[in-house]
Amino acid sequence: MDVRQFSKFSGGSIDQYSPPKNFELVGQKLTLEMDDGFETVLNFTGKNTLEWSVAGGAATTEESYECLKGDPTTYLVTYELGGVDPRACHTYVIDMENMLVTRIIAEIGNNPQYPYLISTAFEFGAIKQEGVETPVYPRHGRSSDLDGNIMEWTYGPTLTTVHVYYCSNFYRITYPTSKLKEMEGETFNDAMTEILKGLPSSDEPAVYIKIKEGLYLTSITEINSEKLIGEKMGFRSDTLCFLQNYKRFYAVGRGFGTSTLGEFEGPIFITLGAYGRFVEPTEERFKKMLTDPNPFLT
């Protein structure tokens, strides 16, 4: 998909604050000892290309990748697998300070009842160092540190969302109060508001992973909305991950999914950047979003 078209249609400049690509890993060959027992190799052959392979698996494969930095020593590396149907995306957080790694494998088409549904699998590991025995711990890991917090993320001059991290495996989304007032009367927003009435709430599964102090990876996948209103909504089970730096209040990330919105129909694979700030739950609607029960759970 033309990112500029997607950006314009989805509310404007969703990718505008995405930083320039980072090329610091060019020329490096990283061997990752993953906890699933399969050694993975990432060989950064150029500014846009890398080769990856899994020991005992398929031969080396070349892909076009994107690399963004979450802090001075931590990289978000992501690529969509070429020539693979159904589609798949690999995303790595490469933590050179602690020589640790987190991987997300996102795949479309594993559910025969919902062919657009995206599944995500997470794995942790360490970066192998020559002459050093790779330790079995510590590792990056799932975290509840963000529970009870509300963050406002701004992706560009016209697009801001509010994420409510009310528990350690779900999140909720809304817009700033000022933005809600601006959106009233706009044809697209009014249509989307009507469509979203088909959902009991905005709850979607989320994964929160602590990379290091002040740096977290959050992953959100639109599963409930895909099952209930996917065709009407048009954005089909999109999955987003953000490497969030709470010391700088900045995040980098990637979006992966599918659009079935007429002239904008096609695959979505984009990198993102956002500036954030904490929101105090002084408004009644924010208080409710922190405490209301999840209607998707018993």
Q: List, for residues 160-195, the tens digit of each pLDDT value.
A: 999 999 999 999 999 998 887 776 656 555 556 677
Preceding amide of 19 cis, omega within 30: no
Closest by Cα among 241, 235, 240 to 266: 235
CA–CA dist 237, 222 (Å, integer): 4
Predicted confidence at residue 3, as pLDDT, reads 40
Domain ranges of the chain: 3-129+139-291
Residue with tokens 């540190």: 145
pLDDT exceeds 60 at position 226 = yes
pLDDT exceeds 50 at position 237 = yes
pLDDT exceeds 70 at position 10 = no
> Span 211-217, mean pLDDT?
98
CA–CA dist 116, 44 (Å, integer): 31
Predicted confidence at residue 264, as pLDDT, reads 74
15 within 8 A of 155, measured Cβ to Cβ = yes
Closest by Cα among 241, 245, 31 to 127: 31
Identify the helix (H) or strand (E) that includes residue 249: none
> Span 4-25, mean pLDDT?
72
Predicted confidence at residue 5, as pLDDT, reads 43
> What amino acid occupies position 265?
E
Q: List, for residues 44-60, the tens digit of each pLDDT value.
A: 999 999 999 997 556 68
Lowest mean pLDDT among 55-64, 198-207, 210-219: 55-64
